[in-house]
Amino acid sequence: MTETTFWELIDISKKQTTENKYEQTQFLTNYLSTQTEEEIFSFEEQFQKFYAKSYTSPLWCVAYVAMGGCSDDGFDYFRAWLIAQGKEVFENAMHNPDSLVSAFDTLREQNRGDYPEFESMLGVPLDAYIKKYNFADRDDGIDAYYARLDEFPRVPFPEMVFNWTEDNPESMKKICPAIFAKYWDDPF
């Protein structure tokens, strides 16, 4: 799966979902489960590439401000949400994290109690693999998936160097002034 194909699939999955974001994972899982094993793992590889790329201090700052705090796990789920928004939103956020203000505003306007987090997006390839091979025992499917995943190269995460601190709001305001102005006193 190429990068272009990956983003096209994300965009298609996003267009197929009107009720809630979990429909997006269902669409992706169902689609990938009909593809070859190599396509499932290729999707995982592409996802992990962008997941690692988005492991940045400015994006963590944006998540922290918008959500009124952001743990390690919360940042993982935030980056999964960011990827699920599609190529344009992702690339804009990579160049200017403050550009996410419009995506946050849209999410808030939908008023479904959603946060900019999407934990289940992390399990799409695994779920597709389990569905493809119809494992009766989910644990057996998990074991088989991770044994096979070990055959593929890992995408390394970059070293995180924070350029903000949670006890210095001004340091966060410099990174994302628009998000800070809208969400600091009224986070998700």
Separation of alpha carbons 93 and 98, rounded Å: 7
Three-state SS at 165: strand
pLDDT higher than 80, residue 19: no
CA distance 183 to 68: 8
Residue 161 banded pLDDT, cuts 50, 70, 90: very high
34 assigned to some structural domain:
yes
Please report whether residue 158 resides in a domain. Answer: no
Across residues 139-155, what is the average pLDDT? 92
In a domain, 110, yes or no: yes
Pairwise CA distance, residues 180 & 188, whole Å: 12
Q: Give the whole-number percent of the chain exceeding pLDDT 90.
A: 85
Percent over 70 (pLDDT), the chain: 97
Q: How many domains, the chain?
A: 1
Q: What is the pLDDT of residue 111?
A: 67
- Residue 46 pLDDT grade (very low, low, confident, very high; cuts 50, 70, 90): very high
Kindly report, residue by residue over 85-134, the tens digit of the pLDDT. 999 999 999 999 999 999 999 998 886 668 999 999 999 999 999 999 99
Structural domain harbouring 97: 3-153+168-183
160 located within any domain: no
Cα 148 to Cα 105, 117, 125, 144: the distances in Å are: 40, 28, 12, 6
pLDDT value of residue 113:
67
Q: What is the mean pLDDT of the chain?
A: 94
Q: How far is CA 22 from CA 18, 70, 79, 144, 182, in A?
A: 10, 21, 16, 25, 27
Q: Is the predicted pLDDT of residue 43 greater than 90, yes or no?
A: yes
| pTM for this model (two decimals) | 0.95
Does 63 or 155 have the greater pLDDT score?
63
Instruction: Please list the residues that pair with 165 across neighbouring strands.
Output: 168
pLDDT value of residue 110 = 81
